[in-house]
Structure 1
Amino acid sequence: MLIAHRIELRPSAEQEAYFRRACGTARFVWNWALAEWNRQYEAGLRPNAPALKKQFNALKYTEHPWLKDMHRDSHSQPFANLRKAWGKFFDDLKKGEIAHCPVFKRKGKTRDSFYVANDKLTVGEKQVRLPVLGVVKMKESPRFAGKIMGATVSRDGTRWYLSLQQEIEICWLESVDRRSVTGVDLNVKEIVCSDGKRYATPRALKKAQKRLKKLQRSVSRKMEAQKQRMGLAKPDRIPKGVRLVASRNREKTSRKLAELHRKIRCIRQDFTHKMTTSLARENQTLVIEDLSVRGMTASARGTVDKPGRKVRQKAGLNRAILDVAFGEIRRQLEYKCAWYGTTLVVAERFFPSSKRCSSAGCGKVNHALTLKDRAWACPACGTHHDRDFNASVNLEQFAALPGATGKVTPVRYELGQSGGSGQEPNAQICARFG
């Protein structure tokens, strides 16, 4: 099994400067390759990544001599990434799904990262040896023992991270108490389970909203002041090729803003990882809903002819849904259920989990139930229901309905037995995931 192990780095000032140049190199090569791909396609040719890479290698040191100071991985991997991006685009088109073609990367608007091949780095205790740079300190030692397939250095806010892609063997230890089936209802305020457990969502974005607006306003005002110094009016766009000179105060405020975004992201990830791990470890079968997050967070603005209603309220609801990260919770449950030998059942999208009475022998669907009704009484049997808990119980009952299917997980290993590749399972992984 392939996992990504992310470790924070502690680079020196010189090493951090090289990181920034390497990220800029990867971004520059991506944009060059994408522009050349589009040019050849419009000319009636059939471009491909290997041919573009060969074309770029023939001219890179003559037209761009500064690339000699950068390791080759930073300006070779973007071609492989572009091939994968176009491949996913055409696959989505064939499947009839929403397809997004690759776009150009802009500094400050995309994630800064660059690739390092597995034979170019050496990982030790709280340090890693990278090409050109030498030894870079890490904040912790790797927690997993496995073959390193590759690594990516990336920036998150003001901090740098090393993400190791490792191939490991996982074995599962039987848990003493594992509930047979549990329904999980996702909500903005809390995640409700059919066994009575409730996980209150942290809502990190909501709590930091005031400070976030203050920092964003401060950065915007400093940018507007710089535009006025350049002779540009407030509504004018910055001419192409012209870059605003960043003042020290603007850079300092931008770093504070990036650090606050990183803190919000860390709080959200900490909650989702702890909750999904607990659910996957303590249950044999989990049932969740197939939520359409894209549809749930659609704008209510409407059109000029037919403007929407309660636009501000809908925008707040959209922000709250995205703050809880329903899609990320499902993504984590999918791979963690495979780790722990748990079956994940996804209820169909239009299953009336909230409107259906979960009482035994009833099953009445209350079509008059609205979103603001948090508790209701069944018109058929008179049972009083908490909306969220009733939905979780209905999801648990969905697993027993005919036609309900889940994702079958791999065979479970025991300690001392060999894994699928014939190697002994990693005891460290067994201890961590058992």
Structure 2
Amino acid sequence: MAVQQEVLKAFRFALDPRPAQLEVLLRHAGAARWAFNHALGMKVAAHKEWRCQVQALIDQGVPEVEARRQVKVPVPSKPRIQKHLNLIKGDSRKGCLPEGALGPERPCPWWHEVNTYAFQSAFIDADRAWQNWLGSLAGKRAGRAVGYPRFKKKGRCRDAFRLHHDVKRPGIRPVGYRRLRLPMVGEVRLHDSAKRLVRLLDRGCAQVQSVTVSRGGHRWYASVLCKVVVELPGKPTKAQTQRGTVGVDLGVKYLAALSQPLEANVPESRFVDNPRHLVRTEKQLAKAQRALSRTQKGSARRHKARRQVGRLHHEVAVRRATVLHAMTKQLATRFATVAVEDLHVAGMTRSARGTLEAPGKQVRQKAGLNRAILDAAPGEVRRQLAYKTRWYGSKLAVLDRWFPSSKTCSACGWQNPRLTLADRAFHCDGCGLLTDRDENAARNIARHAVVADDSPVAPGRGETQNARGAPDPAGLKANHQGASKREGTSPPRTVPPQRSNPLTLPDPHGQQPAKHP
């Protein structure tokens, strides 16, 4: 039985702005970058002040733990930063500065030329970056360690900004099927059609919350976030139940090897070919990057060459996303349960350079393998399956990271400890089974994977499991160390984290701060 539920969905459109509109978009992106740096600067200043006061007490003979407890320097958040900016900002519309003004030192006198939400959303992003660092520092955030927040630099960060509006008087709305109205930008033409969004709005099933405008390569995109009332299937359909469970073995030779054909009665669809988007564009990328290396920094030719390199990389990303979305939707809609491995992509693609005492071997080959794995994007496949299975009534099952799926016979359970990556066929000495290595692994995944809980996973920020934040044995998460998939071996030993700074950062919630690693 279908259940109506209110979820957040984003509708992404490619924009076709006019030259005047393009200048406004760039102005908003620059304002958001400036606002983020301004907010982060105030936080960093408070952190430095706290460290100076703690160090002064330590120099006076106060124990370090007691000094940290005594010093309280609050880190400013969005409301305080916004009030402070309103007091000090200038205004270029006035012919002369007000009495007592700081003259040319007044910041952002152009604030009235952009939407106010470009500033407010940047302040929110700065708060989130700071809290992510705090959570990672305290061990409350899953995945790899989050470093100290960094300032954004023009030309080195993504041009993007986010706008909100009053839902009772919407300023962000589609105009027809081919235009999108943005506050202070106007009606921007779309390369795509907004028919799906318009029909949901007309039926009263959707409500626009915000829009994120960003530049990727040579394109500008608008991601319209909406609160949508959808009917989520409570159970798989009859067709999905008949197909049952499919095991998905993600790899490089094949994008995915399945335990049963993707299309019924079509044995060839058991293997999904790997398009190898990056390999197909290698020659063009090499030519464009050589042209970029011959230019002089700051020149117009360098700017043009950089745009060409960015355009090629963006086209590769778009083609990769198209293939992955098509495959994950077919898996989620055609089967009742989709079983995948709990791969640790960050560990699989770790560099093989080693150390000075024990340098890595075959570094160039490992670098090529890392590129091939990242081009296949197994982590993105897992992320998409997490929410699409919930949308279409199917379930996601996850196989334990340490299960030797490739070395285990899918017929009798015998394990081949001598199987290497060069062996592309699996031969069982117990029952005589001879099959493709990836197909054998897919059957094991379908048989031994465990269905995850029914809680919402991917649409929000509280994803319970992903390619980086899955539960790991031996307390590896506490030390911010993942474990790559090693079939038939025990988990690696943990290594205590290195600490480069004994001082800590003030906790905005008044709790005892954790040490800076």
* TM class, shorter-length: 0.7 to 0.9
> Which is further off, 346-355 or 45-54?
45-54
Structure 1 residue 186, shift from structure 2 partner: 0.2
For residues 67 and 180 of structure 1, the distance between their equivalents in structure 2, rounded to whole angstroms, comes to: 58
Structure 1 residue 278, shift from structure 2 partner: 0.2
Matched, 1:148 2:212: no
- One-letter identity of the residue aligned with 1:147: Q
**Aligned equivalent of 1:363:** 413
**Aligned equivalent of 1:43:** 49
Write the deviation string for residues 142-199 of structure 1: whole angstroms up to 9, x where unpaired: 5232111111111111111110001112225764521211110001121111003221
Matched, 1:194 2:265: no
Write the deviation string for residues 240-274 of structure 1: whole angstroms up to 9, x where unpaired: xxxx2x22x33332222222111101110010000
Structure 1 residue 409, shift from structure 2 partner: 6.2
- One-letter identity of the residue aligned with 1:187: G
Q: 1:102 aligns with which of 140, 149, 155?
A: 149
TM-score when normalising by structure 2: 0.71
SS of residue paired to 1:161 = strand
The alpha-carbon distance between structure 1 residues 79 and 409, as it changes in their structure 2 partners (threshold 3 A), is closer
Structure 1 residue 306, shift from structure 2 partner: 1.5
SS of residue paired to 1:182 = strand
SS of residue paired to 1:381 = coil
Q: 1:73 aligns with which of 117, 141, 144?
A: 117
For residues 364 and 16 of structure 1, the distance between their equivalents in structure 2, rounded to whole angstroms, comes to: 63
SS of residue paired to 2:196 = coil
> Which is further off, 116-125 or 28-37?
116-125
**Aligned equivalent of 1:237:** none
SS of residue paired to 1:24 = helix
- One-letter identity of the residue aligned with 1:33: A
For residues 27 and 141 of structure 2, the distance between their equivalents in structure 1, rounded to whole angstroms, comes to: 39
SS of residue paired to 1:74 = helix
For residues 354 and 66 of structure 1, the distance between their equivalents in structure 2, rounded to whole angstroms, comes to: 61
Structure 1 residue 353, shift from structure 2 partner: 0.6
> Which is further off, 11-20 or 104-113?
104-113
> Residue 172 of structure 1 contacts residue 340 of structure 1 at CA under 8 Å; is this kept in 2?
yes
Q: CA RMSD in A?
A: 1.7
SS of residue paired to 2:337 = strand
> Which is further off, 46-55 or 150-159?
46-55
Write the deviation string for residues 95-117 of structure 1: whole angstroms up to 9, x where unpaired: 36433132211222221111111
The alpha-carbon distance between structure 1 residues 142 and 150, as it changes in their structure 2 partners (threshold 3 A), is farther
Alignment of 1:175-324 (within 5 A): 175-178=237-240, 179-190=243-254, 191-196=256-261, 197-223=270-296, 226=297, 244=298, 246-247=299-300, 249-324=301-376
Alignment of 1:152-171 (within 5 A): 152-171=212-231
> Residue 237 of structure 2 contacts residue 393 of structure 2 at CA under 8 Å; is this kept in 1?
no
- One-letter identity of the residue aligned with 1:165: L
SS of residue paired to 2:293 = helix
For residues 132 and 344 of structure 1, the distance between their equivalents in structure 2, rounded to whole angstroms, comes to: 43
Write the deviation string for residues 305-335 of structure 1: whole angstroms up to 9, x where unpaired: 2111000000000000000111111000001
Write the deviation string for residues 216-239 of structure 1: whole angstroms up to 9, x where unpaired: 11112103xx5xxxxxxxxxxxxx
TM-score when normalising by structure 1: 0.84
**Aligned equivalent of 1:325:** 377
Q: Percent identity?
A: 38
The alpha-carbon distance between structure 1 residues 388 and 113, as it changes in their structure 2 partners (threshold 3 A), is same
Write the deviation string for residues 188-212 of structure 1: whole angstroms up to 9, x where unpaired: 1211110032211211111101110
> Residue 345 of structure 1 contacts residue 407 of structure 1 at CA under 8 Å; is this kept in 2?
no
Matched, 1:385 2:391: no
SS of residue paired to 1:94 = coil
The alpha-carbon distance between structure 1 residues 96 and 333, as it changes in their structure 2 partners (threshold 3 A), is closer
For residues 46 and 172 of structure 1, the distance between their equivalents in structure 2, rounded to whole angstroms, comes to: 44
- One-letter identity of the residue aligned with 2:135: D
Unpaired runs of 5+ residues, structure 1, are 227-243, 411-434
Write the deviation string for residues 80-136 of structure 1: whole angstroms up to 9, x where unpaired: 111222223333333364331322112222211111113332322111222222222
**Aligned equivalent of 1:83:** 127
For residues 86 and 135 of structure 1, the distance between their equivalents in structure 2, rounded to whole angstroms, comes to: 35
- One-letter identity of the residue aligned with 2:175: G
> Which is further off, 334-343 or 164-173?
164-173
The alpha-carbon distance between structure 1 residues 253 and 59, as it changes in their structure 2 partners (threshold 3 A), is same
For residues 376 and 123 of structure 1, the distance between their equivalents in structure 2, rounded to whole angstroms, comes to: 55
The alpha-carbon distance between structure 1 residues 203 and 84, as it changes in their structure 2 partners (threshold 3 A), is same
